[in-house]
Amino acid sequence: MEFHFPRIFTLFSSVLLCFLLLPFRSFSQISLPPSPAPEAAGLGPVAVFSVLSFGAVGDGVTDDTPAFKMAWDTACQTKSATLLVPHQYSFMIQSTIFTGPCKSGLVLQIDGTLMPPDGPNSWPKSNNRRQWLVFYRVNGISMQGGGLIDGRGEKWWNLPCKPHKGVNGKRLHGPCDSPVAIRFFMSSNLTVQGLKIKNSPQFHFRFDGCQDVRIDSLYITAPPQSPNTDGIHIENTNNVKIYNSVVSNGDDCVSIGAGCYNVDIRNITCDPSHGISIGSLGMHNTRACVSNITVSDSVVKNSDNGVRIKTWQGGSGSVSKVTFNNIHMESVKNPIIIDQYYCLSKGCPNQTSALHISDILYANIKGTYDIRSRPLHLACSDRVPCTNLTFSEVELLPAKGNFLSDPFCWNAYGDLRTLTIPPVSCLSEGIPQSILENYVDQC
């Protein structure tokens, strides 16, 4: 909502405001933190705003939200500012939206611990229960430091509505929303590096509607049974680099949702986790387009899946130009899986539309699989076959024993560039007539 004052009033009031604010302005400059203004090599003075200077206590109990908001507002309006969360303090903050745009070069330096209120009963009723810390319309921020973000997720995971928490493994009804720990929304030119984050109530990081994102050296942990604790989730986000990070959790290590393209993932270790996923896509008959995704030089261990593409029946759009290269698997249940029948209940009816999966390269994928599942599972849509799946240097052996289970293919078209272990003889050659004749790419 916006107010429109008559012009003359605006002019008058701004003159008045200047007079009113002048004394406060100089006062607030004096009351600013004892700014050390270090000379960063050749970059001029750097303003450092510690949250302590804005009244944050950092004892892990006091609500430090107001201090963080004030510190944010000040740092955001200062060029090349550092907002410092100092070492050896623990700050409890409520669900907050930090809004931009900010002056360029903002650094959020987290050297201490950040945490939310402990569980759903301590979450104020009026606060959003789907997100904790949100950065909205922020461009050119770097979030970094040697500190810890502790999501205190346990009481959220134990809500009776979560999988496996009800009696006899049933989910019970009740409010089930849980907050994403860190969300970047409609932001660009972001760097997140060096942080440790643990036990998020839901996804640890979620980027949506963002561009130019660089993630490096994150260390993400949550227990193997914690529900929906995806490490890094991106959607409607492009030009993303996710490098050198370690994830250990109870859901997808990295998940790539609708509307993502130009994503480069390198040197990620997932152990344990549900693997690296594209999807799920196409839920409730939605359209999704995902393309130009590369995952390379990574390790997946003790996980339910290795590299997965999952789509719901009834969706539209496509997943194309995806490369999985040089991935080491260890005791992974489904190292290579395409599942176009993704369904969270047993009652998903067969539908006629589906996303088209094409131009997927699996190269140099080696290691062992958990013998409870198949090493390759390519379940493509009945109506829209997967096309141009390429396999090169795929060698997957059982983690225990000598029993080789056969790959499974359904409507999967493509080529083997080299012999594979196990041999994939179920792949169809060429391009099916239905794709050549009727298929229109909606992306």
Ligand X SMILES: *[C@@H]1O[C@H](CO)[C@@H](O)[C@H](O)[C@H]1NC(C)=O
Tell me which residues touch ligand X (CB under 6 A).
104-105, 140, 142, 189, 217, 244-246, 262, 264, 267, 292, 294, 350, 359, 361, 382, 388, 390
Between 31 and 350, CB nearer to ligand X:
350
Q: How far is CA 26 from CA 22, 29, 31, 83, 101, in A?
A: 6, 5, 9, 21, 24
Of residues 266, 195, 200, the one with CA closest to residue 231: 200
CA dist 309 and 278 (Å) reads 5
* Burial grade of 8 (CB within 10 A; 0-12, 13-18, 19 or more): exposed
Between 105 and 223, CB nearer to ligand X:
105
Please write down the long-range contacts of 37-45, taking CB distance under 8 Å and 24 or more positions apart: 43/80, 44/80
CA dist 215 and 231 (Å) reads 12
As beta bridge partners, residue 366 has 328, 395
> b or e along 336-356 (b: 16 or more beta carbons within 10 Å of the residue's beta carbon)?
bbbbbbbeeeeeeeeeebbbb
Between 65 and 388, CB nearer to ligand X:
388
CA dist 277 and 273 (Å) reads 11
* Burial grade of 212 (CB within 10 A; 0-12, 13-18, 19 or more): middle
Which residue is catalytic, options 4, 204, 233, 274?
274
End-to-end Cα spacing for the chain: 35
Verify cis geometry, omega within 30 degrees of 0, for the bond prior to 200.
Answer: no
Least distance to ligand X, CB of residue 68, Å: 20
Least distance to ligand X, CB of residue 231, Å: 13
3-state secondary structure of 279: strand
Between 297 and 395, CB nearer to ligand X:
297
3-state secondary structure of 284: helix
As beta bridge partners, residue 81 has 47
Q: Which two tokens stand for residue 290?
A: 């995902």
* Burial grade of 402 (CB within 10 A; 0-12, 13-18, 19 or more): exposed
Which amino acid would we find at residue 408? F
Between 67 and 246, CB nearer to ligand X:
246
Between 361 and 416, CB nearer to ligand X:
361
3-state secondary structure of 10: helix
Least distance to ligand X, CB of residue 359, Å: 4
Least distance to ligand X, CB of residue 149, Å: 17
Least distance to ligand X, CB of residue 387, Å: 8
Least distance to ligand X, CB of residue 291, Å: 8
Between 10 and 350, CB nearer to ligand X:
350
Least distance to ligand X, CB of residue 56, Å: 24
Active site residue 274: yes
Phi, psi of 173 (to 5 degrees): -75, 165
Between 108 and 288, CB nearer to ligand X:
108
Least distance to ligand X, CB of residue 285, Å: 17
Catalytic residues: 274
